[in-house]
Amino acid sequence: MEIIKSKSFRPRKCEYGDFELKPEKGWELLQTFIDYESKLLVVSVSCEDKSKWKDNGYNGWSIPTKEFKIDLGTLEILEFEGWKKYFNYNQTELISDDKRYKLVAQRVFESDRNSDAIKEELYEIESGKLISSSEAIAFRQEKRENLLESLYRSIREREEQKKIVDAKPNLTEFHLKELSKLKENEIVIGYIDNSCTYKLVFSSNTFILFKCDKIPAEYEAWETMKFVEFKVYSNIEEYWEDFVKNEKWFIQFKIHRGISERSLVLAKPIIFYFNNLRREHKFTYNEYNQINEWQNSVWSEEYKKTELIQWCANCYKIVHYQGRYPKYICRDCASKEIFDKKGNLLTFSNLGFTGGFKIIRKDRDGKIIEENDTEQFCECLIDGKEFFAQEARFGGIVIQRKE
Check residue 220 and give its pLDDT: 64
- Domain residue extents for the chain: 2-86, 92-167, 172-308, 331-401
Q: What is the pTM of this model?
A: 0.76
DSSP single-letter state for residue 87: S
Half-sphere exposure of 233 (CA within 13 A, CB side): 18
Q: CA distances (Å), 325 to each of 287, 328, 350, 381, in order?
A: 13, 6, 18, 18
Measured between its terminal Cα atoms, the distance across the chain in Å is 62
Contact indicator for 388, 375 with CB cutoff of 8 Å: no
E-strand stretches of 58-114: 61-62, 65-71, 76-78, 92-95, 101-110
Q: What is the pLDDT along the chain (403 residues), one digit of tens a residue?
A: 999 998 878 888 899 999 999 999 999 999 999 999 999 999 999 999 999 999 887 778 899 999 999 999 999 999 999 999 999 999 999 999 999 999 999 999 999 999 999 999 999 999 999 999 999 999 999 999 999 999 999 999 999 999 999 999 999 999 999 999 999 999 999 999 998 999 999 999 999 999 998 777 776 666 778 899 999 999 999 999 999 999 999 999 999 988 899 999 999 999 999 999 999 998 999 999 999 999 999 999 999 999 999 999 999 999 999 999 999 999 999 999 999 999 999 999 998 877 889 999 999 888 999 999 999 999 999 999 999 999 998 889 999 999 8
Nearest to 1 by CA among 48, 70, 83: 70
The predicted pLDDT at position 59 comes to 74
Q: What is the pLDDT of residues 258-307, one digit of tens each?
A: 889 999 999 999 999 999 999 999 899 999 999 999 999 999 999 999 99
Helices (H) and strands (E) in the chain, counts: 8, 25
Q: Which residues contact 23 (CB under 8 A, 6 or more apart)?
A: 1, 2, 29, 45
